[in-house]
Amino acid sequence: MFVQHFTLPEELLLLAHDPVEGRPLCRPHLLRLGLAGAVAAELVLAGRVAVDNGRITALGAPPVGDALLDAALAGVAGRRKGHKLPRWVRDTAGVKTTAGRTDEVWRHRLIARGALREERSRALGLIAQRRHPAGPDDRTSPARERVAAVASGASDDGRDRLLAALAGATGLAEALLPGPEQGSVRGELVLTAGRDPIARTVRDLVNAARGPAPRPRGGAEPIAEGTGWNPLDWVFGGDGGDGGGD
């Protein structure tokens, strides 16, 4: 059975794109760390894994019914004693498939679901680029509203708190809550990242990974020509190992 609601990794990726211009709001290598944390958080909410004492372990429950989440769950279940959470997040963020990196895999699914659309162009007539504004089924605006509600103290919903914590951990606070008038709310969003063990791990990894990285011209993403998409590549074509261990 397919997971019908929009998952935490999907919503985090929506938050990481400007809904109008479609430009990315954080660097891809940092976003991938956030997405890995969001996968772990979604599996926790689904009762499939537990995070305790810095480790992530499978609980022996059946698959969720979502190919992407179940592939990650299988990786967690590969070790009886689980995995050190920072290494699992790092390794999951580093998974490569013939469909692309993890952000590409989730982005293709959002395009297929109508939550994002893809606009292609060429910078200077030479460099292929793409942007991803909100699609016909706009889920970005509601996700932004829910994050803002958590940061302002207007919502105490568990899923929304996790989404807000992951957004703060991934470094999206400035983009989601811009301007000096939102400084205190923005600060609260950043603080939420320290209140959840998964988001705290992502925050620490993101802080360690920050550094100079080339930014695409005009905020759009350069792309490789001929990149294909096969939803089974994540499960059968990955090169992510067993997700780490001791």
> pLDDT for 40-88, tens place per residue?
999 999 999 999 999 999 999 999 999 999 999 999 998 888 999 999 9
Mean pLDDT score, 166-195? 95
Averaged confidence pLDDT in the chain: 86
Confidence of residue 4 (pLDDT cuts 50, 70, 90): low
Q: Which residue has the higher pLDDT, 2 or 20?
A: 20
> pLDDT for 87-143, tens place per residue?
999 999 999 988 889 999 999 999 999 999 999 887 666 777 889 999 999 999 999
User: Would the pTM count as exceeding 0.85?
Assistant: no
DSSP string, the chain: ----SPPHHHHHHHHTB-TTT--BSS-HHHHHHHHHHHHHHHHHHTTSEEEETTEEEE--PPP-S-HHHHHHHHHHHTSTT-EEHHHHHHHHHT-EETTEEHHHHHHHHHHHTTSB--EEEEETTTEEEEE--B-SS--HHHHHHHHHHHHTTS---HHHHHHHHHHHHHT-HHHHS-SGGGHHHHHHHHHHTTSSHHHHHHHHHHHHH-S--PPPGGGPEE--TT----TTHHHHS---TT----
Q: Which residue has the higher pLDDT, 118 or 221?
A: 118
pLDDT at 244: 45
